[in-house]
Structure 1
Amino acid sequence: MRKRTMARRHQPQPPWWRRPLLRRGLRLAWLGGLVVLLMALVTQGVERLLHPETLPVRSVVIEGAFQYLDRQEISQTLAPYVGGGFFSLDLRPVEQAVEAMPWVYGVSVRREWPDRLKVRVDEQVPVAVWGEAALLNQYGELFHPPVETHPEGLPTLRGREGRERPLMERYLAVQARLADVGLEVAGLREDARRSWVIRLQDGSQVVMGRGMDTDRLDRLVRMYPRLTEHRDEPIKRIDMRYTNGIAVAWEEPAEVSE
């Protein structure tokens, strides 16, 4: 019996563009080109947005209640820093320029679509004079505005560097306690040994010794009305450094002319 031999049929080769490897390579190349195109468009768009002439800032709103700051001076300080576009403007230099003003406590800057900048300025609140030329705010922090801008009538605190906040807190406590007998504190002074003296508004002094001894303060409040009734002359000095009593010095009576 004769074996039949079947001739192998030759499969036709697909066109080159339909071959799997080439097709995969073309797809990758197409995707890569699309990504490059998108990146170029995004880059161009970002550059356009960041251009200083795109959506320029047309108005600056200054917010805050001011007693010592001048709104016009703040506006002049901001002028060199707000000339960019809405997106290109760097807010940090704007904040730093206003923060450098001596009566400024804090600044916040934000954009408001489409062309406005809002600058919120918090002013320092002076509570006391520290030393010769500095002021203390309500948080016991030092700031240094020009001396000629210091408000009148502030108490004066003196002490070593780093004792600003404790002395301010002590002043507030002492002032609140002595107000019960009608006394107003004009200042506190603490030396290197932390011995401190109260200066009253009438010019008299109260020597308190070391530390914040509330018993001595209470004793002063109890006895002060009796002291004013004892003599007509103004009190010059009260020494509270005694365990159970006080020492008082009065002003010398004025000489009566003939």
Structure 2
Amino acid sequence: MNACISIHLTWCLLEQDASLFSPRTITPEVPPYVRKVGETKEEHLRQYFLVEGEQLLRLFRFCPECGQKLSKVELTPVGTAPVVRFLCPSCSLRAPYVNRWEGQKRAVHHSRERMFKGNLEACVSLITTGVRFVELNRFAEQMRMSLFSSTFFWKIFSIAKPAIETVYCRHEDHIMEVVRSHYEGESGLQLAADGAYDSRGYSALIGKVVLSDTLTKLILRTEVLHRSETGENDILHKYRVSFRKALL
């Protein structure tokens, strides 16, 4: 009987020793600061940010590929897009010898595409919102912000203008259909118009006329006119031209 007890004790000790050296699933303690870092929202991935050049170069003290300290780094603006060219003691030993990082995607996924997507979208936004390039360029100079040239802007303007006019006319036709549907059975129209020059005084040359419907609160048409087109100082007599065009 003593032999049986000793065998049983030996077996228990062996099981305890085996449990000491057997692999365990250990849950590491998560540091408290990790809980404060969340997931990036998808909408932020499609946004553009104003980044200072000095702050951007702080990300290029070491090679993004191998982690070695970079020997030379150059920051070059291409319109609104930052381009960083750098030399790595390890990666630059093979082609491409000069590594390159671009702050924006190319407009088209093509090996020979040179236009950046952000520059293209900025030009289209200027055209569709009616902001003049001169005003944006003055803001960029005051802000010390990198911006594309006027030549590039007018190039995109000539390309985008037909498409913008097509979309604008389509939207204008839709507005007129909505207004007509509200006036079915009505004997008259409820219209309001206003006009203004681009600057005060007699030196103003460009004026804008806006025709709106007071029932639907929709703008029917806008006309941009030169002062010489009016034949007199008062540009408001051009309203009847806008009325005819809007009701055709």
TM-score by length of 2: 0.29
Which of the two has greater helix per residue?
2
TM-score by length of 1: 0.28
Which of the two has greater strand per residue?
1
User: Greater Rg, structure 1 or structure 2?
Assistant: 1
